[in-house]
Each structure stands twice: as C-alpha cells, then as structure tokens.
Structure 1
C-alpha cells in the first residue's frame, strides 16, 4: 500500500515537482500551501509523513510544527530550510521534527528528501512497535500481579482454614502433649498464611514489608499459644522489605522462638514480656532478635519439649545464609540472627 506524504510549501511549482519525484518513489503526495490546509489534512488522518517548508507566506513551518505538537501528532516531520538556515533546522529538531533537508536547486535535493522520508517513517514505526511492546509488557505484568495476588489470597485462606481445623482438633483432644503439638503446628501454618496475606495486600507482590508482617504474626502467635494471663509480646521492627521466600524463613524463626519463649521463659502463670526486634545496622545488615527477661536458657542447655522447634530454627537460619546466636544476658534469653540485606 503506497505511503501518503503531506507536502507543505507555498511554492506551487516545487509542490508539483514533489508530486512527480516522490510519486516515482511510490508515495502519494498531498500538497498544502498554508497552515490551515496542512492542519485540516493532518486532522483527516492517513498521513505517513509530513514535509514542512520553513518560509510560508503568512507563517513559518515552526508555527505549524508547534500546532502539530500541541495536538499530540506522532507523524514524523521532515523540515525543509534554505542553505543558510542551519539554526532554523536546529530549532525544528528541538521542537519535534524527525529530520531536516537543506533546500537546493540541484538534483541531489530529491534523493536526499526520499532518504529522509524513508528513514523518518522507519524510525516512527520502530517507536510505535517499541511503545506497543512496552504496553503489552505492562499489561502482562499487571495481569501477572493480579493473578499472583489472587493465588496468594487463596493460599492464605486455605492455610487459615487448615489452621482453624487444627485448632478445633486441639480443642477436642484430651492429651496435653497433643494439644501443645497441635498448637505449635497451628502457629507455624499461621505464620506462612500471614506471609501470603501480606503479599496479596502489598503493592509489590515480590516483597514483604517486614514490620507489618511481623506485627500480624506477633498478634496471631500471642493469641494462639498463650492465654490472657501469660507473657505479652512487644514488637520493635524498623521498616524494611524482604523477598517472599526469605520472609517465610524469618517468619518461621520468629514463630518458633516466640513459641518457646512464651512457653518456657517464665514460670507457669507468671507474667512477663517477650520482645521481637528487627533493626538496620550501621554496616548495612539487619539484626533480628527475640529476647525475654525470664529464667534464661543458653545454647547447650537441655532442650525442652521435642526439640523440633530448635531444628526448624537452625534450618531456616541456614536458608538465610546465617545462624542463630544466643547472647549471654544477666537475666533471660536473647537469640540473634544477622541478615545480609544484599541477599534480599
């Protein structure tokens, strides 16, 4: 299909030459002698390129170029100037012209014009293809994010249902050991469900805001493994984000450490406080700590319970490229984990 060129020049003889030369190159030429005629032709559409002369009777080509820009035209413009009008050509390029051609009386003018038109249209097609590809990428990304958020939502709901069923099972069991085991399992499942819930409510489904995630996790663990007379939990977490897989590991570590502290840090029936800390360090790393002011426990002491929680903590810390350290304190227990932010 032939390409259509809008040729704006008040020189009738030159416009006829344009129709003849460009017609031989396979173009359909629409002549326009002034801005009003040119803008009317541009408004009708179907123009593949515009050749715009600078000197017109009542205006300049720059005036028309400004009007085209104001209307958001994406049609490439080849600006035509006299041989001594280099500054005008520069102004045209600054104002959106795709290229310029110096007007001469020699035969080289039309080959240069054909080359400029062909190159300008090719570049315009590349820009349109690029914009279309970027638009498709944006749409695909948005669809993927919506789909992933929906998946996270459904997974979180399913995990919450499983946790509720376990809670019912624990409530109907007559064995204290079974109740405790089921309660710990419920807390672990709840930690993972909380991470998924954080993902589908986040603007970036690849990241988890740890202060919000740990806030939800702390509240759920508090209600799952303690009664209202037991120790309380205080969270002090600075704003930072982790990738979802690392957030799961951190969530599991916090859940296990909290569960142990709430069960064993203080004598049965006694109050107290368990603190969860997540802070940025001067060296660019992050420090995660769970501490209490209870009876105290250090690494090497006899493990209370089945020891499954300790094994889970070590395994999760290993996936983060770190290890749990127990810090000696005058009173109570403090478990620390250093996170490399560069791996987030």
Structure 2
C-alpha cells in the first residue's frame, strides 16, 4: 500500500533566509521541512525519527557538509542525503557522492532550484525504498534458507537414528539365531545399513548437505567395522589410507556399501585363523578418477575359483559400481586378494533425473 503521508525533509543550512524560502516552496510540493543549522541540531531531529531525506548544504560555517556525511556514517542507519553545493563546486559534489551522498543539486537562485530539489528528493527516497525492500527480501531468503537447512538437518538426523535402530534390530535378531549362515547374512545386512546411516549422520553433523567427505565417512565406517570384528573376538586389524575427496550423497552411499561388502568378505574368508590385516586405500589418479582398494593378506583365491557365499554381495557391489560408471577388478595379492574399484570423480546422475545434476568435487 503506497505511503500517502507528507515526506519529511531535514534541511541542514546555516542560511536561515534560504531555509525559510525552501520551506515555503517545498510545502507547496507536499513536503514537511525540518531545519537544522548544525550537526548537533541535526542529531536531535534525527533522534525524533520520521525523516525521509536529508538536504545537506556544503558550507555550514564551522563545518562542511562532507564533515556531516562522515558523522552520519557513524550512525547505524540514516536517511539518504541530497548534497546542495554551489554550481562552481563540481569537485565537491563528486567528493560528496563518493562519501555516500545519494544525489546532489547545484545551489542557484533560479526557479529550477526547487524543481531540481524535488526531483532529487524523489529519486533518493525511491532508491532508499528499493534498497530497504531488497534488504528485506534478502533477509527473508536467508531466513527461508536457514529454516530449510535446519529442516534438512533434522531429516538427516532422524534418518540416521532410524537406520541405527533398524541395524540394532537386525543385530538382536542375529543374536537369537543358531544357524551360522543366517547369522552371517544378518551381519552383512547390518553392515549395509550402517554404511547408509553414517552418510546421513555425517550430513547433519558437518552441515554441508550437498557433499560427503569420503575420507571422514569411510574412516568412521571402518572404525565401526573394526569394533564389530573385535567384539567377535577376532584379531583382524583394519588399516586405512584415504585421500581427501568429496562426492555427492548417492555416490558416497554406493562407496560405503562397497567398502562394507569387501571388508565383510575379508573378515569372513581371508583369515580362517582369525588373525590378520585388511588395508583400505582411496587414492586420486592423474586422469580425474579415484581408485578404492580393499586388500587382505589371507588365503586368497585359487585361480578362477568361485568366491564363497551366495553371491548376493557381489551383485550389490556390481550394481553400485555401475551406477557410478566405475570398474571393478579382483587381483591376487601374493598372498591374499585385492578388490579394486576405479571410478570418475565427476559423477553424472541417470538421465531420468530432471534436474540433470552433475557435480564435481
């Protein structure tokens, strides 16, 4: 709704005759003029509030308008300033604009002076109104962004907690079983759930909801799996050397599940004695790709012998790798086995993603 009240002008000039003339002329144009002959008087008028624009004369006797502009700058907020100066003092007007004045008007005795003042006032008031609206809009955008980030943080928190609870249920169920194969299958399921839940836990603790720091995420996952292995009285140590890499959420989940699968396999099959070491490495390659390896020094595979187990985990790893345009390679470790995934750091999402997201760490 437009503001229909009269605009209030604070006119700073020590020439009281000119001030009275300006007051009468501006009154006819719909302005209310408050006069001040010094900075002290201007401060009192500004403290009362309701001033829409300041008309500031350059020559104020003991001080100049430039001095007043500098003191206005110390205030938290002040109305826009229209600088009034002699027609031959263009350099002064330029200095005033640089100091923060919104506009300037050459002081003359012609009838054009009031018209120029009126025009400058209108421009300054409108510019200030647009600036305030812009600041308000930006504040609303920041508030909406903060609310959205808080909501997203809460969503990730709840997802992480729900997945942790699901993993606990799976663990309890495994504890009630006597069949070894069933218990192993549930343990693998628990590790997959943990791999996904850790991504959401990192998202709400780190505050960046776009990317996941793989070195931190995979290190946490490995620590959890190490603790789980030790709780089962296994003397298998898991070491890691992880480059600093960031990937979007989907790709990070895929990598976490792959690491969980490969570590689980090494824990189950590589060391029948229950003693050994597993090394997890994430390295950056020169061609814009990264290479993830999980290596053990255990019994290894003989020739082309099929891997033990149901093969379900292998299928999961294959699907995850394909979604990242990655390639899987199993090699003998002399001794042991090396499972490797090479994938591009630029992750392109499937074509059905309508936003066409493409992220580069």
TM class, shorter-length:
over 0.9
Q: Does 1:251 align with 2:222?
A: no
The question of whether the paired residues in 2 share the 8 Å contact of 1:184 and 1:225 is answered with no
Aligned 8 A contact 2:295 2:333 in 1: no
**TM-score when normalising by structure 1:** 0.92
Name the residue aligned to 2:289: 285
1:289–1:336 contact (8 Å) kept in structure 2: yes
Once residues 97 and 65 of structure 1 are traced to their aligned partners in structure 2, the CA distance between those partners, rounded to angstroms, is 7
Q: Kindly tell me: are residues 57 and 273 of structure 1, through their superposed partners in 2, closer, same or farther at Cα, counting changes over 3 Å?
A: same
1:177 aligns with 2:181: yes
Asked if the contact 1:183–1:224 (Cα under 8 Å) also holds between the matched residues in 2, the reply is no
Is 2:300 the partner of 1:305? no
Structure 2 unpaired stretches of 5+ = 348-358
**Distance between the aligned counterparts of 1:62 and 1:330, measured in 2?**
82
In the superposition, relative to structure 1, how do residues 90 and 309 fare at CA in structure 2: closer, same or farther (>3 Å)? same
* Corresponding residue for residue 242 of structure 2: 237
TM-score with structure 2 length normalisation?
0.88
In terms of mean alpha carbon deviation, does 329-338 or 65-74 score higher? 329-338
Return the offset for 1:224. 3.4
Deviates most, 12-21 or 133-142: 12-21
Residue correspondences, number:
343
The Cα shift of 1:51 comes to 0.8
Task: Indicate the residue corresponding to 2:353 in structure 1.
Answer: none
Structure 1 spans left out of the alignment, 5+ residues: none
Task: Give the conservation status (yes or no) of the 8 Å contact 1:258–1:290.
Answer: yes
In the TM superposition, residue 270 of structure 1 has moved relative to its aligned partner by 4.0
Change (3 A) 1:106 1:262: same
Q: RMSD in angstroms over aligned alpha carbons? A: 2.1
Change (3 A) 1:340 1:46: farther
Aligned counterparts of 1:340 and 1:2: Cα–Cα separation in 2 = 65
Distance 1:299 1:311, change over 3 A: farther
1:192-235 alpha-carbon deviations (Å, 9 max, x no partner)? 11111111111323332222211211122223356333422111
Please tell me whether residue 27 in structure 1 is matched to residue 22 in structure 2. no
Compared with structure 1, are the counterparts of its residues 71 and 24 closer, same or farther at alpha carbon in structure 2 (3 Å cutoff)?
Answer: same
Q: Find out whether 1:43 has 2:52 as its counterpart.
A: no
Q: Distance in 2 between matches of 1:38 and 1:284?
A: 64
1:335 match: 339
